[in-house]
Chain A
């Protein structure tokens, strides 16, 4: 990341979605990836919340980076993260009460996401605002994408429904909405994602 050569915004953006996808590549933050993905709506909303926090944290840390004393950078990062998470939490409780009823607990857990702290430490604290924003956006969208895909398959197979609307009139694989099915879904989709990436995406770029 800290190479001298200039990295384009597009590359930064795509990095979080494909090359360093939080769930499928780095295998970080798997707890929420399993806990909230039993329905498409919750998976998607969680992804949006995480993306918002990631972008705001990256921007804040990047703006503050010359001001923060290196010795206390981690406590400061945590303060910034928990501040933004609390703002997200309160706003969601006020403006999206229905969704908040189901996801409130997980929203507060975003504070402990390894992926958000990792981006603050590895990227935002060393880069300018614009690159940090695009890095956060890429990472956030990558996370949202992963959660959406996982919850799509879990709700479809486990409940025969999508976004709460029944479409199959049957429950082909009830286990998919249970925690065990969450592990299956994440594992299988992770393998698939990496296979597609190896075969079609990474091979066409010059990096390999």
Chain B
């Protein structure tokens, strides 16, 4: 290798790194505010979607499940409390499933939603279907229990997706509701 080779190689690398770095910095500067905004919009939208009739959703506090930080909120219309929203996690097949649960003041489930998860694509993500999530509506905490047979009383597991179904039902929703009831009833 001659000296001119070394100079050329150095020049090659410097130029490629410089142009590449500048290009990436430019794209990052353009996209990162959008990503940040997306995250905030998504959270607001998710909370709004849980209780559309609420005109104010206030954070009540933080709690921890599976060592993960989660939040809970009170939803108000005017001065009247119309429900609570709690974020919870369930330990699934290959990830922690991030769930939002909205309950009425009597702690019956109004709605649940799956915020994020990394379950088996195409299989575990069946927990996001309205058919599965809809089963929770109107259930009290005692009724939140996963069964494998057809049921109106409890929650029916999705065929082939038992572990993810259980994580949502017996872990995230059940524990979230239990905590919420204990905190609200105990504190108020």
* Chain A residues with a Cβ under 8 A of chain B: 35-36, 38-39, 42, 64, 67-69, 71-72, 75-76, 79-80, 83, 86-87, 90-91, 93-95, 97, 101-102, 154-155, 158-159, 171, 174, 177-178
B13: A residues at CB distance < 8 A = 72, 75-76
B123: A residues at CB distance < 8 A = 38, 177-178
Compute how far the CA of A178 lies from the CA of B123 in the bound complex, rounded to whole angstroms. Answer: 8
A69 touches B12 (CB 8 A): yes
A174: B residues at CB distance < 8 A = 159-160
Compute how far the CA of A102 lies from the CA of B128 in the bound complex, rounded to whole angstroms. Answer: 13
Known: A64-B16, A79-B16. 20 other contacts (CB 8 A): A35-B121, A36-B121, A42-B121, A67-B12, A69-B5, A76-B12, A80-B16, A83-B24, A87-B24, A90-B27, A90-B28, A91-B27, A91-B31, A94-B38, A95-B34, A97-B35, A97-B38, A101-B116, A102-B125, A159-B122
- A68 and B24 contact, Cβ closer than 8 Å, known pairs A38-B121, A42-B121, A177-B122: no
| Majority-rule SS of A interface residues | helix
CB distance from B123 to the nearest CB of A (A): 5
Compute how far the CA of A7 lies from the CA of B183 in the bound complex, rounded to whole angstroms. Answer: 74
CB distance from B176 to the nearest CB of A (A): 22
A95: B residues at CB distance < 8 A = 31, 34
CB distance from A206 to the nearest CB of B (A): 42
The verdict on B58 contacting chain A, using a C-beta distance below 8 Å, is no
B116 touches A83 (CB 8 A): no
A72 touches B34 (CB 8 A): no
Chain B contributes a number of interface residues (CB within 8 A of A) equal to: 29
B122 touches A158 (CB 8 A): yes
A-contacting residues, B85-106, CB 8 Å: none
Compute how far the CA of A2 lies from the CA of B132 in the bound complex, rounded to whole angstroms. Answer: 57
The verdict on B69 contacting chain A, using a C-beta distance below 8 Å, is no
Q: Which of A39, A75, A83, A93 contacts B23 (CB 8 A)?
A: A83
Compute how far the CA of A40 lies from the CA of B116 in the bound complex, rounded to whole angstroms. Answer: 20
B120: A residues at CB distance < 8 A = 178
A83: B residues at CB distance < 8 A = 20, 23-24
- 0/1 interface trace, chain B 156-182, chain A, CB 8 Å (1 if under): 000110000000000000000000000
CB distance from B185 to the nearest CB of A (A): 36
